[in-house]
Amino acid sequence: MQHAIDKWLSEKLNERKVKNIWRSLPAQNNGIDFTSNDYLGFAQSEKLFHAIQQKIESLPKKNGSSGSRLLSGNSSYTEQVESKLAHIFKSQAALIFNSGYSANLAVLSSIPQKGDTILYDSLAHASLKDGARLSLATRHSFRHNDLEDLERKIKASKGKKYIVVESIYSMDGDECPLNEIVKLAERHQAAIILDEAHSTGVAGPQGAGYCVEENLQDKVDIRIYTFGKAMGVHGACVAGSKALIGYLINFARPFIYTTALSQHQVASIDCAFEFLSSNLDLQHMLAEKISLYLRAIGKLSNRTASLSAIQTILCPGKHAAKEMSEVLQNSGFDVRPILHPTVPEGKERLRICLHTFNSDDEINSLAQALVAVV
């Protein structure tokens, strides 16, 4: 006998199947990796793996943190790693979170208050939008990277104003005009919340991200760094003033009511940044791989303008995107389609991620296959 809730759930799933937007967990793909966010190859680095294991051996033998940071889950080692992160990110303090999603949720849901206004880029990550939705503040999106639209909306805003942007956008791979946004924020006394997820590790000294690379760390109020992409491990942190970190410890529900990261995960973050400090040439190597791809792909009219490791080929329509992906998969390239509702209808695409471990021959071969299939 089917329960009423199961009947409703099945109907909702069938709606997705009819619209051809059904999601399912993919099988492991053995093709050449052009889909993961492992830009620097840290997630598969044996050297980093052994460094983490060695670090763990020097720490007390614990499998889990056993509770939230405010109860039994805190440790002097976690605080040491947070101090290291604050130094790298050139901030007064840093606070570790279990994921970039929970960090974004914590910041957006707890800081803006009723009567305030959140203005977020229309292409901002789902976690930023979800955090804004949980806030009691008024929220509006502005057209992607459109400074005129942002200024028009900020002039009509009330209360404290928060501008929410990403350094590199996950679906288009383009940068935000951070210098101009800082000037706009200063004119209108607005605070900036910057998600550095896709620039962490690949930009800035010691992988400190786009904001530090542009020397704007003292002009951006709140920065969120994610470690599950270029850093190849897991977790995230918020960097900013001591007052900001103290506020999050006291008011951010995703921090207060979550079991802390295990010692192994904290050690992984620590070791990943130590490993990067000894291998900063990987940033230059990634830049060379991106340049090679851009030269090889030429001037395809339907590719987005990106200078980052994230490259996209627009192929509107869910069927077109799936078919192009299947052709590439059958040719040995792991390239996935991005479909509605992840992107708007008509903006379906192939999302291509470049890595330091992709050989020049692999990149050239992928470019040739893309030109042929597009």
Q: DSSP state, 260?
A: P
In the structure encoding, which two tokens stand for residue 48, read together? Answer: 């980093």
Q: DSSP state, 216?
A: -
> Is 288 among the residues known to form the active site?
no
Please count the helices (runs of H) and the strands (runs of E) in the chain: 14, 12
- pLDDT at position 2 is 66
Tell me: pLDDT of 374 over 80: no
Backbone angles phi, psi at 142, to 5 degrees: -120, 155
> Is 284 among the residues known to form the active site?
no
Tell me: pLDDT of 1 over 70: no
Strand partners, 259: 68
List 116, 166, 175, 362, catalytic entry: 166
> Is 125 among the residues known to form the active site?
yes
> Is 213 among the residues known to form the active site?
no
Give residue 197's pLDDT band: very low, low, confident or very high (50, 70, 90).
very high
The CA distance from 227 to 246, in Å, is: 22
> Do residues 233 and 227 lie in contact, with contact meaning Cβ atoms separated by under 8 Å?
yes
List, in order, residues 6 or more apart from 298 with CB less than 8 Å away: 367, 371
> Do residues 81 and 270 lie in contact, with contact meaning Cβ atoms separated by under 8 Å?
yes
User: CA distances (Å), 37 to each of 105, 193, 322, in order?
Assistant: 21, 22, 20
Q: Which DSSP string do the residues of 267-332 spell out, in sequence order?
A: HHHHHHHHHHHT-THHHHHHHHHHHHHHHHH---TTB----SSEEEEE--SHHHHHHHHHHHHHTT
Query: Where are the alpha helices (H) located in the chain, listed in sequence order?
Result: 4-18, 46-57, 76-88, 100-110, 126-134, 147-155, 178-188, 210-213, 242-251, 253-256, 263-277, 281-297, 318-330, 360-373
> Is 50 among the residues known to form the active site?
no
List 229, 234, 347, 355, catalytic entry: 229
List 55, 129, 153, 198, catalytic entry: 198
List 37, 102, 167, 268, catalytic entry: 37
Q: Is the dihedral of CA 339, 37, 179, 295 positive or negative?
A: negative
The CA distance from 82 to 88, in Å, is: 10
Comparing C-alpha atoms, which of 253, 262, 357, 350 is closest to residue 311? 350
Tell me: pLDDT of 338 over 90: no
List 127, 170, 199, 268, catalytic entry: 170
pTM of the model: 0.94
- pLDDT at position 260 is 97
> Is 365 among the residues known to form the active site?
no
> Is 250 among the residues known to form the active site?
no
Q: Give SS3 for 77.
A: helix
For the segment 148-185, what is each residue's pLDDT rounded down to a tens digit?
999 999 999 999 999 999 999 998 899 999 999 999 99
Lowest mean per-residue pLDDT among 62-71, 279-288, 295-304, 340-349: 295-304
List 33, 174, 195, 348, catalytic entry: 195
Q: Give SS3 for 168.
A: strand
List 33, 65, 110, 125, catalytic entry: 125
Give the residue-averaged pLDDT of 271-288. 97
In the structure encoding, which two tokens stand for residue 191, read together? Answer: 């605070």
The CA distance from 195 to 166, in Å, is: 5
